[in-house]
Amino acid sequence: MSIGYNTNMSFDKYFKEFASNMKAERARKGLTHVQLSLKTGLSTDTLSRIERGVTNPTLDTIISIALALDVDLNTLLPLKK
């Protein structure tokens, strides 16, 4: 089964788009890094580093963030439509 990712996009760009989508969703929900940290179990530093594109999240982290933000993975990941 294909996840339908855009083969023209490098993995670095996927992480950057994920970071941008994550930050936008967190802001839309009105959550601070502290609040998201409490929901995910990740440190505020880790969340900040992901949003700034300094750290690339693992799959476990991506799922944890999606669950904490109460959004579908497709909301956060730059997949083909």
User: Considering the entire predicted model, what is its pTM?
Assistant: 0.83
The C-alpha torsion from 26 through 27 and 32 to 38, rounded to 10°, is: -20
Question: What is the distance between the alpha carbons of residues 35 and 41, in angstroms, rounded to a whole number?
Answer: 10
Q: What is the reported pLDDT for 40?
A: 97
**Model confidence band, residue 14 (pLDDT cutoffs 50, 70, 90):** confident
- Predicted confidence (pLDDT) at residue 10 exceeds the cutoff of 90: no
* pLDDT value at residue 60: 96
Q: Which domains does the chain have, with CATH numbers?
A: 11-71 (1.10.260.40)
Report pLDDT for 36.
98
